[in-house]
Amino acid sequence: MDMPITITALPEVDLTNCDREPIHKSGHIQPQGVLLVIQEPQLEILGISQNALDLLGVEPESAIGQDVSLLFDEVLLEKLKYCLLNENLKTVNPIKWSLEKAGKSLDFDCILHRWEGVLIIELELATTTENLSVFSFYHSVRSTVAKIQSANNLKNLCQMTVEEIRKLTGFDRVMVYQFDPEGNGAVIAEDKVKNLSPFLGLNYPSSDVPKQARKLYELNWLRLIPDINYKPVPLLPGNNPVTNEPIDLSFSVLRSVSPMHREYLVNMGVVASMSISLIKDQKLWGLIACHHYTPKYLNCELRAACEFIGQVMSLELQSKEGNEDSDYKLHLKSIQTQILEDISTSENLSEVLVKCQHNLLEAVNASGAAIVFGEECYQVGKTPQRSALKSLTEWVQNHMNKEIFHTDSLTKCYPKAEQFKVIASG
């Protein structure tokens, strides 16, 4: 049947509004496959990507409203119907399919998911797993998991993971990127080819991975961009006929990338990228971020292995951070005991500070401290000038009614701190 093709215009995106960009409803896919929107149970084609002619030899406009048998042979159709009996379609992905086109055989991985009342079928062009036998591939992944699980602390866990992921995939650079509660990120582990400048230790603002992108990373364990220089392929129609809203591609493997993110990667010289989510307590803890400086495609099996490794690391995060927390508490108790001993054997406060200044700073992971007692001000380590400390003390006394005040960004609540933020900020 003929259906009107409707495409809802999406707002222009720039740096001022990228945090509101509907990246899950881009209306486009990457070109390494075809996306179909299917109505169950009759398996009617409601939508199709515009590259169907190039990859499948079918005019996309004429396919809309037709039965999916227009595209699939009987063997694939029977496999599809059998797989659709499962509620959890992840357990049947991918379905292998070969299509004879112009005297050549094209191999596809058919990846299925249901969302917003429709079935999404993605036909992704398949490649082999870099000449690795199934047996060798299995043992390679098992060895990787064993190494990760043997890590004795968080730092080793992250470093082992990036090394093993790079060995398995061949990416030029692999990093662990950790988020703080505000969404800012830091590179805490890295493995790379020798000629690349290091990113280890670099910090990034929350705008680098906007809130809606972090939400998608919570929903999807893995995201691959084989070639950032691709031309996005539009979907026909752009709207989901069931909801009359732009098609939600939150769980799509082929979903097109935000123009802002593409520009960001291009500016870094990155051509291919892959991100693996790290989830702790059902929240996004960080990412395993992979960069390559030429196009790079990873097939379904290798991506599944990387996803599994990300899930294993996510489980390990819980125990490793728990162990480190326990070790830190024991160490802190030891420091507190030493400080109390120093206090009990000293004549005055200044003598105490001389004796225990290292322990005092280590106890709170600080580079400087000031103790204000009446008109007296005792300083250790790197601190602002006394006049600035006096003003800060008066501000705290006048504005804070708590016994303990703490902040990780003093300038946000006390603008005068801008003058000494290089020395004391949080």
Backbone angles phi, psi at 340, to 5 degrees: -60, -40
Angle between helices 154-169 and 134-149 (to 10 degrees): 160
Backbone angles phi, psi at 249, to 5 degrees: -105, 25
Largest CA distance in the chain: 94
Stretch(es) of the chain classified as CATH 3.30.450.40: 18-127+135-322
Backbone Cα Rg of the chain: 28
Say if residue 4's pLDDT is above 50. Answer: no
pLDDT band at 402 (very low <50, low <70, confident <90, very high): low
Strand, coil or helix: 247: coil
Stretch(es) of the chain classified as CATH 3.30.450.270: 347-420
Q: What is the pLDDT of residues 234-252, one digit of tens each?
A: 999 878 878 888 888 999 9
Q: What is the pLDDT of residues 377-400, one digit of tens each?
A: 877 788 888 888 888 888 888 777
- What average pLDDT is seen over the chain? 84
Q: What is the pTM of this model?
A: 0.74
Q: What is the pLDDT of residues 154-200, one digit of tens each?
A: 999 999 999 999 999 999 999 999 999 889 999 999 999 999 999 99
pLDDT band at 14 (very low <50, low <70, confident <90, very high): very low
**Cα–Cα dist 283/215, whole Å:** 9
For residues 251-280, average pLDDT: 93
Sequence-separated contacts (24+) of 349-355 with Cβ below 8 Å: 349/373, 349/376, 349/378, 350/378, 353/378, 353/380
Please tell me the predicted confidence (pLDDT) of residue 382.
86
Structure tokens at 7: 């495409």
Nearest residue to 115 (alpha-carbon basis) of 234, 255, 225, 280: 255
**Cα–Cα dist 318/329, whole Å:** 17
Question: CA 206 → CA 181, 213, 214, 274, 353, distances in Å?
Answer: 10, 11, 10, 19, 38
- Mention the CATH class of domain 347-420: alpha beta
For 18-127+135-322, CATH gives: 3.30.450.40
Give 240's strand partners. Answer: 245
Q: What is the pLDDT of residues 273-327, one digit of tens each?
A: 999 999 998 899 999 999 999 999 999 889 998 999 999 999 898 777 666 666 6
